[in-house]
Structure 1
Amino acid sequence: MNGFQPYEIIAPVTGAPGESIVIVADHASNHVPEGVNLGVAPDVMTQHVAIDIGVAEVTRRLCEQIGCGAVLAGVSRLVIDFNREEDAPGLIPLSSDGIPIPGNHGVDAEARLAAYYRPYHDAVAHMLAGMAQPFILSLHSFTPRLASRPDEARPWDMGILYNRDDRAARIAIPALQAAGLNVGDQLPYSGTLLNATMNRHAETPGRVYLGIEMRQDHVGDAQGAARMAEILAPVVLACRNSLA
């Protein structure tokens, strides 16, 4: 693996409004490390199956605006999905939204866990352990239309996900609606099913967090990412100020 680091750290700014906030971006990259051959066409790596479009850009803008820290994934979700438990189906996907991933058949799952998955989660744990009362923003994005389910409507601008801890969700949802967004509560899917990273780093140790899914066609360019960061910044600060 040649010393490859499967994550990027953005350090919080001491004394900034968002100093105690950490953004965790599990699917921020479409990078395929050297030695991994997924067997897919190059254009697949630009699609939602490979990366949460817009997440890295919104994360960087929020870090600049409020001085928060972040841990961004440095490996595509098609290599290994950081937002899955180690023994979960789909950890190393064999297909995604109808697209086969032939290079993932028969791979050594333990090798990918050791090289990418565990170092990423160790980095998240290390950053959070160094903060007295961190507030976590889990940032993802969703495609407005699945190729495998073309008739499924996904009209929301944003979804708020959580498992058992909905404290931040109850603050964020009305605030985001007041900003003019169509906000889904546990939509387009439920955090009771898709919340592995936050279950591990937030709910189990008792840290407060907000799980956000942004609609990808609203954050897929610089203008959209900037607009979303402007909307999210005061909402995230309000959640942190109320709860953390």
Structure 2
Amino acid sequence: MTSWQPWRRIGPQHAPEGIVLVADHASKFVPAGIDLGIAPELLDQHIAVDIGVEPVAELMAQDSGIPAHLATVSRLVCDLHREEDHPAVVPAISDGHAIPGNAGADIEARLNLFHRPYHGALAAWLDEVEPSLIISLHSFTPSLRSAPGARPWEVALLHNEDDRAARLAMNLFRAAGFTVGDNEPYSGRQLNATMNRHAEAHGRSYLAIEVRQDQIAEPAGQALWAHLISDVAARVALLLEAP
């Protein structure tokens, strides 16, 4: 029996088109010994987990053969989609909610337990499989408690320096009839830690996809978006290879 680790791998080792998926915020799990000091119901909200992402990733692995590297720890314990020196890598507050258990937390210990093993395993896997395209999958809220205001995009593409795949995917989602955000509701120039590290730094193509949570909160939407994202990613991978 293997011991718990802050990531799990699902799907085949290699995808037919060389497409893989990464989900840094797929879990709401808080390991024993860590008391965040928050109401239990907050663990079901967006501050703890990207709602809908884990079932979408599981469907993509099952139905489209896209392997995935999924976080198994809540972003409130350690945010794996932040640089190690980011002030919110162990957040003291999230969307207006104080996280009192993180006040004075041993950040170095959290990095050693969660952040470094997660990214070390991800780096080794990507070196092994040499993907043609990485999907970084997240979800976002229709509005924020700390910054009220509608977010009209059903899906958004984030990018930093390399926007080749993102531009192709935006066109494909728009052609399918969706309202698409370009670096919205966040900018990939500020929030792109995992893809900066594992994609842009290695010249790997990637799609950092944010789906609005109401689109994937229920099984029907999860199935729809799993198929749609798989299809768009496959088409983008082909377009990137075209002369």
Q: TM-score range by the shorter chain?
A: over 0.9
Q: 2:59 aligns with which of 58, 61, 66?
A: 61
The aligned amino acid for 1:97 is D
| Stretch of structure 1 that moved more, 128-137 or 188-197 | 128-137
The answer for the alignment partner of 2:139 in structure 1 is 141
How far does the alpha carbon of each residue in 1:147-166 deviate from its partner, in whole angstroms, 9 at most, with x for none? 1112x220110110000000
Does residue 151 of structure 2 align to residue 154 of structure 1? yes
**Given residue 49 of structure 1, which amino acid in structure 2 is its aligned partner?**
I
SS at match of 1:204: helix
For normalisation by structure 1, the TM-score amounts to: 0.95
Among candidates 119, 122, 134, match of residue 121 of structure 1: 119
Question: What is the correspondence of 1:1-244 to structure 2 with a 5 Å cutoff?
Answer: 3-12=3-12, 17-18=16-17, 20-150=18-148, 152-243=149-240
Give the superposition deviation at 1:12.
Answer: 2.5
Q: 2:92 touches 2:102 (CA, 8 Å); kept in 1?
A: yes
Distance in 2 separating the partners of 1:134 and 1:110: 34
Pairs aligned (count)? 240
SS at the partner of 2:202? coil
1:4-24 Cα deviation digits (max 9, x unpaired): 21111114265x534x11100
What SS is found at the alignment partner of 1:214?
strand
Please, which runs of 5 or more residues in structure 1 have no aligned partner? none
Letter in 2 for 1:198: M
1:192-233: CA deviation from partner (whole Å, max 9, x where unpaired): 000000000000111110010000011001111001112111
Q: Which runs of 5+ in 2 are unaligned?
A: none
TM-score in terms of structure 2 length: 0.95
Change beyond 3 A, Cα 1:13–1:92: closer
**Alignment-mate amino acid for residue 200 of structure 2:** E
Shift >3 Å, 4+ stretches:
none
Counterpart amino acid of residue 141 in structure 1:
S
CA distance in 1 between partners of 2:102 and 2:131 (Å): 39
Whole-angstrom CA distance in 2 between matches of 1:135 and 1:177? 20
Distance 1:188 1:51, change over 3 A: same
The one-character-per-residue Cα deviations of 1:115-156 (angstroms, maximum 9, x if unpaired) are 111111011111101123431000000011101112x22011
Alpha-carbon shift at residue 179 of structure 1 (Å): 1.2
Deviates more, 1:214-223 or 1:57-66: 57-66
Contact 1:157 1:182 in 2 (8 A): yes
